[in-house]
């Protein structure tokens, strides 16, 4: 399993300058040439073309080709070279290669809860961002509407309120931001894209209807994200309202309200009469205070795209929610795979604004294309930096097929746990009947040890839905079905995102499989099918770490899309993926027996003449 990528830079990859132990002071020391070389910092992605490297180094592609030749590498202008090779050339041309800054996207960081130390002095309180969730028809939309109507400030009252995906209200001189696409589906879909926009989840339960399946789902989705939960018991104006029953039902979900000695704040409200609305807003501020939500307004803005669409007249429009920093008119930003200079900015009352501070939403014009909801954004120095960042992202994605959140499978669980990547197997459990849940859950919870154990994120009767798959994806978990089949949409989503979905009809087998996975003993569900062999005849070194094996295909066929075992005197010395297959200078998909080709692998380059490359693919056993 490759390391998690996306927003994280290459871990621990030293820059050539540092590898060579060459300090910048030394490099800047006077030399005998007329113009002393000035060291400039340059950031290089995992791979880029010769032309792109030239652009970054402000030189011509021909000069790069010449430099490569000096290092015995023949490359044309459109050829892709790897990080190491590019770094050597850049260093030779007097650049100081620096690693891309590490931007680790933990939920806390995205919510602006973790900061670099040097920022501490700049931190200021910021408004909480709230998502409203709950069962259909329990009054989520009505609640959002009444909050918006009763709390607009005077200045804004004249503006035409628009739905832009988020709005702010003012309560006792404090602001609160509401995301106005209610529901846990949007919340978890955003989380699956690596974005964590919400600080507090308000779960709405209708007093006349009680806790329903989607209420439980919403609670579990909020819990899985580690977001504080508040309860709004709505529709208390109705004669049949029974808040006490709801409090009992919540206790069954392990949500004990304050009144009963628990920690969950619970406020009775009516979206119809407005009763309790002021109270719930004040309670939100209280929770926000406990959470100590802070951000640094004195830095470039970063945050998340809440909503985006193409306006026929004005072009791509996106509502951004600022997590940290201040967003200003005229700045250049990168959002997902697109970028642009902010030409105009509006608030939710359609007023033009010049800046948006932490936790504020802003609708912006000026992006090149429409980003996706859930994409993260950041302000950068200029358009050139933006272009480079996007190229890096696209290329890294191509290379890694990276998802911001990478799913986990039962099959590779143990290996990931060994390498410290997971300590808990997150499970979404769907069963045929309510009665099956408890025995399965308690058997699963008994498994594992202190280093690796099962955590049931959500368990409910019913078929496996897209929402279940999304929750598993966002939490790097798996979905287990007991006598429960996936809905077609859920199966498609799981296949597309690589989320593991397993169906069982015997409890014992389900529990046994999970136990084996925790112990690293799960029998493979894939078998290896050998497709061909090739013998290494000559090794061409590329830069410091790369190499191409010049091979003769001796048997079967060899394919670009295959896995390769490198055999040396009958022993496996590497097991890797093909990263390049060439016939002379051309990239090819496959080559038959009797032909010659150049093979490079993703992680292994230490070929020797006489090595045998065994090309195989994994096939589902059943
Ligand atoms: P959502 O599906 O959760 O967004 O629910 P809606 O906001 O669309 O509300 C569903 C229905 O409940 C609508 O007919 C609302 O008018 C009604 N409703 C919402 N809140 C209240 C309330 O506090 N009291 C009463 N009596 N009806 C409400």
Residue 568, token pair as written in the block: 């040396």
Name which of 68, 74, 72 is nearest 88 in CA terms. Answer: 68
Rounded distance from Cα 138 to ligand 1 centre (Å): 6
CA atoms within 13 A on the CB side of 196: 22
Query: How high is the pLDDT of residue 29?
Result: 36
Check if 136 has its Cβ closer than 6 Å to any atom of ligand 1.
yes
CA distance 577 to 597: 16
Rounded distance from Cα 469 to ligand 1 centre (Å): 28
Query: How high is the pLDDT of residue 157?
Result: 52
Check if 234 has its Cβ closer than 6 Å to any atom of ligand 1.
yes
Residue 53, token pair as written in the block: 């490297």
SS3 248: helix
234 CA closest ligand 1 atom index: 23
Check if 546 has its Cβ closer than 6 Å to any atom of ligand 1.
no
Spans in the chain with pLDDT lower than 50: 1-38, 100-115, 117-118, 155, 401-405, 622
10 Å Cβ neighbour count for 20? 11
Which residues fall within 8 angstroms of residue 470, CB to CB, at 6 or more apart?
185, 188, 189, 192, 493
Between the alpha carbon of residue 203 and those of residues 167, 339, 514, 522, the distances in Å are 18, 35, 32, 39
10 Å Cβ neighbour count for 363? 23
Residue nearest to atom 9 of ligand 1 (CA): 139
Rounded distance from Cα 11 to ligand 1 centre (Å): 50
Angle between helices 61-70 and 83-92 (to 10 degrees): 100
Rounded distance from Cα 272 to ligand 1 centre (Å): 8
Rounded distance from Cα 130 to ligand 1 centre (Å): 19
Query: How high is the pLDDT of residue 406?
Result: 56
Between the alpha carbon of residue 111 and those of residues 256, 295, 322, 437, 513, the distances in Å are 26, 9, 10, 34, 36
10 Å Cβ neighbour count for 124? 11
CA distance 588 to 583: 6
Query: How high is the pLDDT of residue 20?
Result: 34
CA distance 369 to 593: 46
Which residues fall within 8 angstroms of residue 434, CB to CB, at 6 or more apart?
461
Residue pair 430/462 in contact (Cβ under 8 Å)? The answer is yes
Q: If you count them, how many residues does the chain have?
A: 622
Per residue in 130-175, pLDDT (tens digit) is 999 999 999 999 999 999 887 655 545 555 667 889 999 999 899 9
270 CA closest ligand 1 atom index: 23
Per residue in 427-483, pLDDT (tens digit) is 999 998 888 998 999 899 888 777 778 899 999 999 999 999 999 988 888 999 999
| Of 218, 234, 246, 271, best ligand 1 pocket probe by most atoms within 8 Å of the beta carbon | 271
Residue 395, token pair as written in the block: 């290329």
């Amino acid at each position: 399993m490759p390391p998690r990528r996306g927003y994280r830079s290459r871990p621990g990859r030293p820059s050539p300058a540092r590898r060579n132990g060459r300090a910048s002071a030394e490099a800047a020391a006077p030399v005998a040439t007329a113009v002393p070389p000035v060291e400039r910092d340059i950031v290089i992605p995992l791979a880029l073309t010769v032309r792109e490297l030239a652009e970054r180094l402000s030189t011509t592609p021909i000069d790069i080709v010449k430099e490569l030749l000096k290092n015995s590498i023949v490359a044309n202008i459109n050829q892709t070279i790897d990080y190491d090779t590019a770094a050597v050339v850049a260093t030779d041309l007097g650049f100081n290669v620096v690693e891309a800054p590490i931007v680790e996207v933990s939920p806390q960081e995205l919510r602006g809860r973790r900061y670099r130390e040097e920022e501490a002095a700049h931190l200021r309180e910021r408004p909480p961002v709230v998502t409203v969730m709950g069962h259909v028809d329990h009054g989520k939309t009505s609640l959002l509407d009444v909050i918006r109507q009763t709390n607009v400030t005077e200045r804004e009252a004249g503006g035409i309120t628009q739905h832009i995906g988020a709005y702010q209200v003012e309560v006792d001189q404090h602001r609160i931001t509401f995301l106005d696409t209610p529901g846990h589906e949007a919340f978890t879909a955003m989380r699956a894209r690596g974005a964590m926009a919400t600080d507090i989840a308000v779960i709405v339960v209708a007093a006349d209807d009680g806790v329903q399946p989607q209420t439980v789902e919403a609670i579990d989705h909020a819990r899985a994200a580690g977001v504080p939960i508040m309860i709004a018991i709505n529709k208390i104006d109705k004669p049949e309202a029974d808040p006490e029953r709801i409090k009992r039902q919540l206790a069954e979900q392990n949500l004990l309200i304050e009144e009963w000695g628990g920690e969950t704040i619970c406020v009775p409200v009516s979206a119809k009469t407005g009763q309790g609305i002021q109270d719930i807003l004040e309670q939100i501020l209280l929770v926000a205070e406990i959470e100590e939500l802070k951000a640094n307004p004195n830095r470039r803005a970063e945050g998340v795209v809440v909503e985006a669409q193409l306006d026929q007249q004005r072009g791509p429009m996106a509502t951004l929610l600022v997590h940290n920093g201040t967003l200003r008119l005229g700045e250049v930003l990168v959002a997902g795979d697109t970028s642009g200079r902010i030409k105009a900015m509006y608030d939710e009352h359609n007023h033009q604004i010049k800046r948006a501070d932490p936790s504020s939403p802003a609708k912006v014009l000026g992006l090149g294309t429409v980003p996706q909801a859930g994409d993260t954004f950041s302000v950068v120095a200029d358009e050139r930096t933006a272009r480079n960042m996007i190229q890096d992202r696209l290329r890294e994605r191509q290379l890694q097929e990276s998802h911001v959140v990478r799913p986990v499978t039962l099959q590779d669980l143990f290996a990931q746990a060994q390498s410290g990547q997971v300590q808990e197997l997150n499970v979404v459990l769907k069963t045929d009947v309510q009665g099956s849940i408890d025995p399965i859950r308690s058997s699963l919870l008994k498994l594992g040890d202190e280093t690796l154990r099962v955590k049931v994120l959500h368990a409910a009767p019913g078929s496996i839905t897209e929402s279940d798959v999304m929750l598993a994806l966002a939490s790097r978990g798996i979905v287990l079905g007991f006598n429960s089949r996936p809905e077609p949409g859920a199966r498609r989503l799981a296949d597309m995102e690589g989320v593991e979905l397993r169906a069982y009809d015997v409890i014992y087998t389900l529990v046994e499989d999970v136990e084996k996975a925790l112990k690293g003993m799960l029998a493979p569900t894939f078998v290896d099918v050998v497709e061909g062999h090739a013998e290494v005849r000559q090794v061409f070194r590329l830069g410091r770490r790369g190499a191409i094996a010049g091979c003769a295909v001796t048997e079967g066929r060899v394919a670009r899309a295959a896995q390769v075992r490198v055999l040396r005197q009958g022993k496996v010395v590497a097991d890797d993926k093909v990263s390049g297959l060439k016939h002379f200078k051309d990239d090819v998909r496959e080559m038959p027996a009797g032909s010659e080709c150049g093979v490079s692998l993703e992680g292994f380059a230490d070929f020797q003449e006489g090595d045998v490359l065994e090309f195989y693919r994994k096939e589902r056993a059943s």
